[in-house]
Structure 1
Amino acid sequence: MEEIIQEDKKVFLFLNNLGDSSFDQFWMLISSTWIWVPLYAIFLYFLFKNYQLRSLVFILVFVAIGVTVSDQLAGVFKHGIERLRPCHDPSLEHHMRIVKCGGQFGFYSAHASNTFFLASYLTILLKKNLKWFPYAIFVWAAVVSYSRIYLGVHFPIDILVGSFVGTLLGVIFGALARKVINKQKITS
């Protein structure tokens, strides 16, 4: 396990040190939540165009529950595992660029989990009518996730595990949403 952690630190330092202070504000913006509200409105528009209002209500309820589970589960892991964020790790202090620092613990990334949850969940619901959608939304999730390494708040393994958990939750909630929508169509 120690070897994996050391490799994770090496990869982190490589990726983090690719950064340049002239791009710091851009990556802080990418990592912020509120900047993506217009994109969420576009997602809502696509859902509205492809589903009836009654189905849309179920879809949005599943999104709210899924993002909450994704986010809170990350918090449970952070306090259960207690792996220091890179910006709090004394062994990396003089070797990395710290642009921003969050709470003390960082395993695993809630940003990665939440964005990959949305990517997989919405892909399940929209891929049939929007063939290009999965490519675009997974690139978005990857860019947001990378921003966390750039800023110095997560290790690559934090991102990979967050991405995996988010995708898994997205697939589960997406399958549940499809099942409810299909059952709704049969009964109406």
Structure 2
Amino acid sequence: MYTFDHDLFLALNFDGGPQLDRIMLALSGTTMWLPLYALILWLVWRRTGWRGLAVFTAAMIAALALSDMVSGIFKHNGLLGGLLPGFEPRPRPMFTPSLEGLAITPDSLHALRRMTPDALAAAGYAGDWAVHVPPEAVSGRYGTVSAHAATIVALAVLSAPAVRRRWFTLLMVLCTAAICYSRIYLGKHFPMDLVWGSLVGAALGRAAYAVYRRFGGSAAAE
């Protein structure tokens, strides 16, 4: 599976130049998605009123927080990071030496990624990487499970049936695809990292919707 995953990642990851780097960094961030959160809350309020909105907001916060925490189990970080002490975390693509044809450890590649071009040249590396990683994207060592995929899928699975508008469902699908692809472009996740994250998010989003439907009032079930 890893061979296929590596090949698919390399087919999707490329250097799109500084402008595309900035776009992907924005897609992978938080600020640009705040209007989406506001839109979701407004649409839920229009459909169910203040009581439904309060229940939805609580369910949304719980789903997003749990998605992030469950994803952290497999990377040994966050509140639940100690639950699987024997699990071997999977390095991010940017810290996977085999993709670069290097016989070094992931930790050594992590150190190289953080070097300036001059320092790399002095160490004997040209810095002509197979995996494109904008300097601003170099971050934590481990990628499985993708918390970004888990949280956006949880939000989509919760909000789409709550809003019940075709255009909104399409919007959530497009937003999910954009965020997930940005993680590949930035060298942060392999495709399977995103698949596992999506499964976590889908399960928690579905559970959150069941809670919302149960306690959000009659309007949520219409």
TM > 0.5 fold call? yes
Moved more, 172-181 or 114-123: 172-181
- 1:75-128 CA-to-partner distances (Å, cap 9, x unmatched) read 11122441000111111233211122221111011111100110010012111x
Moved more, 104-113 or 77-86: 77-86
Residue number in structure 2 paired with 1:51: 48
Q: Describe the shift of the 1:30–1:11 C-alpha distance in structure 2 as closer, same or farther (beyond 3 A).
A: same
Which residue among 131, 155, 179 is the counterpart of 2:214? 179
Structure 2 counterpart of 1:47, one-letter code: V
Q: Does 1:74 align with 2:71?
A: yes
Q: Does 1:110 align with 2:113?
A: no
Secondary structure of the residue aligned to 2:97 is coil
CA distance in 1, matches of 2:163, 2:218: 18
CA distance in 2, matches of 1:95, 1:151: 13
Q: Describe the shift of the 1:84–1:57 C-alpha distance in structure 2 as closer, same or farther (beyond 3 A).
A: same
Q: Does the 8 A contact of 1:124 with 1:171 survive in 2?
A: no
Q: Does the 8 A contact of 2:158 with 2:209 survive in 1?
A: yes
Q: Describe the shift of the 1:48–1:140 C-alpha distance in structure 2 as closer, same or farther (beyond 3 A).
A: same
Residue number in structure 2 paired with 1:26: 23
CA distance in 1, matches of 2:5, 2:89: 16
Which residue among 8, 14, 25 is the counterpart of 2:11? 14
Secondary structure of the residue aligned to 1:120 is helix
Q: Does the 8 A contact of 1:66 with 1:170 survive in 2?
A: yes
Q: Does the 8 A contact of 2:48 with 2:217 survive in 1?
A: no
Question: Could you state the TM-score of these two structures normalised by the residue count of structure 2?
Answer: 0.76
Residue number in structure 2 paired with 1:142: 177
Aligned length: 179
Secondary structure of the residue aligned to 2:138 is coil
Identity %: 33
Q: Does 1:84 align with 2:91?
A: yes
- Pairs within 5 Å for 1:142-181: 142-181=177-216
Structure 1 counterpart of 2:44, one-letter code: L
Q: Does the 8 A contact of 1:86 with 1:152 survive in 2?
A: yes
Q: Does the 8 A contact of 2:154 with 2:205 survive in 1?
A: yes
Secondary structure of the residue aligned to 1:105 is coil
CA RMSD of aligned residues (A): 1.7
Higher-helix-fraction structure? 1
CA distance in 1, matches of 2:172, 2:25: 19
